[in-house]
Amino acid sequence: MRTFKAPPERKLPELSPSIRRARPRDYIEWSALRRWGKLPSREDSPAGYLLREARERVGLTQAELAERLGCSQQAVAQAERWDANPTVRFLTRWAQAAGSRLEIELR
């Protein structure tokens, strides 16, 4: 009988913090990294993903939230994208519809 010996584990080199991703993470990956505290600081607050997180936290579907906001489900889906750029007025309405409070902080 032959025995199998696994190859030694190779450790990948650490990437420089100045290296940027070529494309944004998908929501599932971003959410997991955020929960684990492993998200790079420059990726901690894409507005669209924060909006999706707030909607999911209260258990609303995109269609239900759209009805509360008086817009289409497609508008909600577009606002939940990585590169979304919603207005403060829209953010305020979203927070109210999700039973939350909007806080904006400039540092």
Specify the 3-state DSSP secondary structure of 87.
coil
Higher pLDDT, 79 or 3: 79
Specify the 3-state DSSP secondary structure of 24.
coil
Residues 6+ apart with CB under 8 A from 16: none
Would you say residue 104 has pLDDT above 80? yes
pLDDT at 21: 64
Query: Which letter does DSSP use for residue 39 in this model?
Result: S
Helix (H), strand (E) at residue 54: helix 47-57
d(CA 60, CA 52): 10
Tens-digit pLDDT profile for residues 27-43: 888 888 888 888 887 77
Domain at 27-32+42-97, CATH class: mainly alpha
Token digits for 17? 């913090």
The model scores a pTM over 0.75:
no
**pLDDT band at residue 26 using 50, 70 and 90 as cut-offs:** confident
Tens-digit pLDDT profile for residues 35-81: 888 888 777 778 899 899 999 999 999 999 999 999 999 999 999 99
